[in-house]
Amino acid sequence: MTLMQWYPFKASPSAELLRAYADDVNAQVKQSIEAYRYDSEEEDVETDDYPPQVKTVRHHRGLDDESWDLHDVFEDYFPNLQRASAVITLFAFFERELEDLCNLIQSIEGYGMNVRDVHGSGIERAVTYLEKVCGIDTYRGSKEWAEVKAIQLVRGTLAHGGRADLEQHKKLKDAIDASEHLSYSDELKVAPDYAGYVIAAFSRYFAVLHRSIKEVYQAKLAARPKRPLVAALGKP
């Protein structure tokens, strides 16, 4: 694979695959909610009181409403957990794709330094490698990169249980306030469309990188010395 093929033949198709994954997660969430609404069962049980009283207990998937708020569990907590897991998975893909790009450039250019030799980790290490070793502008000042960094904050919060003191984390609060797909009450809530937004944001940043790579390698081609026409034709 050449560098000019990375975006149209790898990064872009991967985003299409992830959209199918996100759609599948949302479909599973919807099915789970509908199963709770229509398949949960109720039974009448006698209490230990004297004289005994009869009360109705609702059951679903091994849980009952005597111990749990089933509506909260199956219509809020579990769906949010599934959406949060999807966001964490999507960000892991983004990190891996950036690292794969670094490895591709290293293999083509023959650089002695690998991306894993660079200090740091994750996306910061990858873009540092692209900048310092490969000479590629990663546009850290762009709105596309700002979107990625906001998603990184969200991902980090979700990976640690979805809770944070927003008074102490202004950047996270700003990211939540700026998104129509995020909210915060007792924990960070993820709306169904957030995964699609995340994939689109990653695609936009990949497009920025593709243009930057194209500029660098077009400049390299232009800087190569041109062979004289006679020599190129093989004439004495």
What tens digit of pLDDT does each residue of 175-221 get? 999 999 999 988 999 999 999 999 999 999 999 999 999 998 888 77
Decide if pLDDT at 82 tops 80. yes
pLDDT confidence bin for 20, thresholds 50/70/90? very high
What average pLDDT does the segment 103-121 reach?
94
Provide the pLDDT for residue 72: 94
What average pLDDT does the segment 21-47 reach?
90
- Please work out, in degrees rounded to the nearest 5, the angle formed at the alpha carbon of residue 27 by the alpha carbons of 23 and 33: 145
Query: How many residues would you count in the chain?
Result: 236
234 token code pair: 């093989």
Helix ranges (DSSP H) in the chain: 3-6, 12-39, 70-72, 78-109, 122-132, 143-159, 170-178, 194-223, 229-233
Q: How many domains does the chain have?
A: 1
Q: Domain residues for 19?
A: 3-40+81-223
Closest CA to 97 of 212, 89, 143, 84: 89
Q: Is residue 71 situated within a structural domain?
A: no
Q: Is residue 54 situated within a structural domain?
A: no
What global pTM score does this model have? 0.87
Residue for token digits 């330094």? 113
Q: Judge contact between 110 and 118, C-beta under 8 A.
A: no
Decide if pLDDT at 54 tops 50. yes
Q: Is residue 72 situated within a structural domain?
A: no
Compute the distance between CA of residue 50 and CA of residue 65 in angstroms, rounded to an integer: 23
Provide the pLDDT for residue 228: 56
Q: What is the mean pLDDT of the chain?
A: 90
Provide the pLDDT for residue 142: 97
Q: Is residue 67 situated within a structural domain?
A: no
What average pLDDT does the segment 99-113 reach?
95
pLDDT confidence bin for 229, thresholds 50/70/90? very low
Percentage of the chain beyond pLDDT 90 is 75
